[in-house]
């Protein structure tokens, strides 16, 4: 899927969500007022395709209320409001779209570079899906030399624009992705305990500072 196509789906979801109930004609009017449209309306057939694809992609239920002029709305809008991965994804892409649509103001919009370590996400998520250990070369905040070890990838967490890995090795620890110098998947498999829950691991903590019996603070 192209970035342009994804941008359109996010725009549609964002528009319906912000307006609560909105008709196809009202959506088209807002669409034409946006640079992303390039002056072209959304054909009815294309509109329904976008609705279907957006539902599948973001796990949303977009309904049409026939009373009062066929208004579209998101039935499970609370899923967006309550946060989580879906909300983060929508917000991130929405902001990216906003920046792209206003390139003429690039010199007046100041952004902060944050070394988040996101380039390691694909490898970590792949290992989580395949249930294999990761081999990591890590440079801790508290040590002068690098350390190399295998770790069981349990969860990933985003906090203040930085990514962290919750991993099981010698105890359960948290690793900052921007401190990882090298990361590769091994052929060693693992089976994650069914009763381990990230919510319990982070219960009562602030951000990634953990102090509970399940693990230790960031390494």
On whether both 125 and 58 belong to a single domain, the answer is no
Mean pLDDT, residues 44-58 taken together? 90
Which class for 185: exposed (0-12), middle (13-18), buried (19 or more C-beta within 10 A)? middle
What total of structural domains would you count in the chain?
Answer: 2
- Which of left, alpha, beta for 69 (phi over 0: left; psi -120 to 50: alpha)? left
d(CA 58, CA 114): 26
pLDDT of 218 > 60? The answer is: no
111 belongs to a structural domain = no
19 belongs to a structural domain = yes
Residue where the block lists tokens 């917000």: 91
Q: Residue 114 in contact with residue 124, Cβ under 8 Å?
A: no
Per-residue pLDDT tens for 8-37?
A: 888 898 899 889 999 999 999 999 988 888
219 belongs to a structural domain = no
On whether both 98 and 122 belong to a single domain, the answer is no
pLDDT of residue 216: 35
Model pTM? 0.52
41 belongs to a structural domain = yes
On whether both 135 and 79 belong to a single domain, the answer is no
Q: Which helix (H) or strand (E) holds 101?
A: helix 85-101
| Average pLDDT over the chain, rounded to an integer | 79
190 belongs to a structural domain = yes
d(CA 208, CA 218): 7
pLDDT of residue 79: 75
pLDDT of residue 185: 95
On whether both 86 and 135 belong to a single domain, the answer is no
Please give the residue range of the domain that contains residue 81.
3-102
110 belongs to a structural domain = no
On whether both 147 and 192 belong to a single domain, the answer is yes
214 belongs to a structural domain = no
- Read off the CATH number of the domain in which 50 is found: 1.10.10
Per-residue pLDDT tens for 103-150?
A: 666 666 655 555 567 778 889 988 998 999 999 999 987 788 999 999
Task: Return the closest-CA partner of residue 193 out of 214, 177, 219, 176.
Answer: 214
Banded model confidence at residue 87, pLDDT cuts 50, 70, 90: low
182 belongs to a structural domain = yes
On whether both 58 and 20 belong to a single domain, the answer is yes
Q: How many C-beta neighbours within 10 Å does residue 23 have?
A: 16
Per-residue pLDDT tens for 192-216?
A: 877 766 666 655 554 445 554 343 3
d(CA 52, CA 50): 5
SS3 category, 42: coil
Residues 6+ apart with CB under 8 A from 71: 21, 22, 23, 64, 65
On whether both 57 and 131 belong to a single domain, the answer is no
């Amino acid at each position: 899927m192209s970035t342009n196509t994804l941008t359109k789906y996010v725009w549609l979801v964002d528009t319906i969500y912000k307006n609560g109930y909105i008709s196809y004609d009202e959506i088209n009017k807002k669409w034409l007022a946006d640079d992303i449209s390039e002056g072209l309306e959304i054909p009815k057939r294309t509109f329904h395709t976008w609705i279907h694809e957006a539902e599948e992609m973001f796990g949303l239920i977009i309904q049409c209320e026939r009373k009062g002029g066929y208004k579209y709305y998101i039935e499970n809008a609370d899923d967006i409001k309550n946060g989580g991965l879906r909300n983060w994804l929508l917000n991130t892409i929405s902001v990216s779209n906003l920046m792209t649509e206003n390139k003429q103001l690039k010199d007046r919009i100041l952004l902060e570079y944050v070394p988040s370590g996101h380039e390691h996400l694909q490898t970590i998520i792949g290992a989580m899906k395949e249930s294999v250990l990761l081999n990591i070369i890590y440079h801790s905040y508290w040590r002068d030399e690098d350390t190399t070890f295998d770790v069981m990838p349990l969860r990933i967490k985003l906090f203040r624009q930085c990514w962290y890995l919750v991993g099981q090795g010698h105890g359960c620890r948290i690793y900052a992705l921007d401190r990882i110098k090298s990361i590769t998947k091994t052929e060693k498999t693992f089976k994650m305990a069914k009763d381990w829950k990230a919510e319990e691991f982070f219960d009562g903590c602030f951000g990634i500072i953990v102090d509970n019996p399940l693990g230790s603070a960031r390494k």
